[in-house]
Structure 1
């Protein structure tokens, strides 16, 4: 299939996904198409659709269809970048963020079973720690936006980075709110606290897990393909300047 034919098929699939037509059948078709092309080709096809006027928010539907199809991309990428390479560091941080999300999910579930706030219950202290770690993920996002994304954009492939920036912006107020709720738990009406915690936690857990998957399996392999090898040292130096998260593995920082 030629690049032009892939683009037309992607366009058709997006239109059908956005209209809600036979969702499962269309998702299966999208997965089959995605399995037959590289992350770079997919990003280029998405970029052409954006250039033709497609709203990038509509590409989220296609990203959702990647969930099973692109899993091999990450394994291949991890074997091709050494520890300390900016992509290795970002992937390692993703692994830590996923652990934070798993624990946040569990802590929220535990709090939802309680009848009242109890300062002696360690779950509330843990929620504070998790709230602070969520805010700390902003250093990860800043490094992506200021060092990695501009280099991908220079290649002409701006669709994936636009979507990731948009999701960073969407996630921030929810992360801030979880941290605020953790700090104010004892001073709030407990039912209101639980309701708001559930709402913001569920949004962050679902959205950030999906966001990480898309970066690992679509954006990062694309970045590896389109960024010149000579540029990675500069990206690493800029990343060092911005700084790392409290949970970034030491081996990634010092290599």
Structure 2
């Protein structure tokens, strides 16, 4: 057994030594095919697990538990199946989810991000206020460029809760720099409770706000969410 493990290690076969005895044998071709298929399958699962951990999602919400309904309004040029295909990532396009709190924006953003990890994409999830805090800290420590370099191999960045907390002038400018780095180089999913015309509430500089919105929506699919909060409805439904 140790010899088999050593040979597999040399050949960089991570799982064969552990699974070869459990593969049914009908003939040589079938056995080898099934053995290597299982090796590939386990490698993909391990890769997905690594990507999910690196993404640092705040929630474990999945697409298969998402409640689709008439409250989600797609733009005319985008169908649900195309969104779920993740083609927007390969085209460096953005997905903007806007609407009242509690209407499912973060759930959908998280589900799409976790789905992307399982498809092999490098993803990062941030609550926007936390990201701005990190940007200000790294800037004060003289490590801003190092922080910006972390995104070189990232395919998709999810910015959750844009608009819940206004930024300082420095924070707004630092976030603008980062989003400018990603423009036409990465894809973003942004959730916000504000319409674009209201973003000047969080980015106090009018020119900076206009430039930021221009970059965000240039290659973007904007989905609007209407209706009452799921959380409020659930709470009301539990009343005696």
TM range (shorter): under 0.3
Structure with greater proportional helix content: 1
Q: Please give the TM-score of this superposition, normalised by the length of structure 2.
A: 0.25
Structure with greater proportional strand content: 2
Larger RCO: 1 or 2 (CA < 8 Å, sep 6+): 1
Structure index of larger Rg: 2
Q: Please give the TM-score of this superposition, normalised by the length of structure 1.
A: 0.24
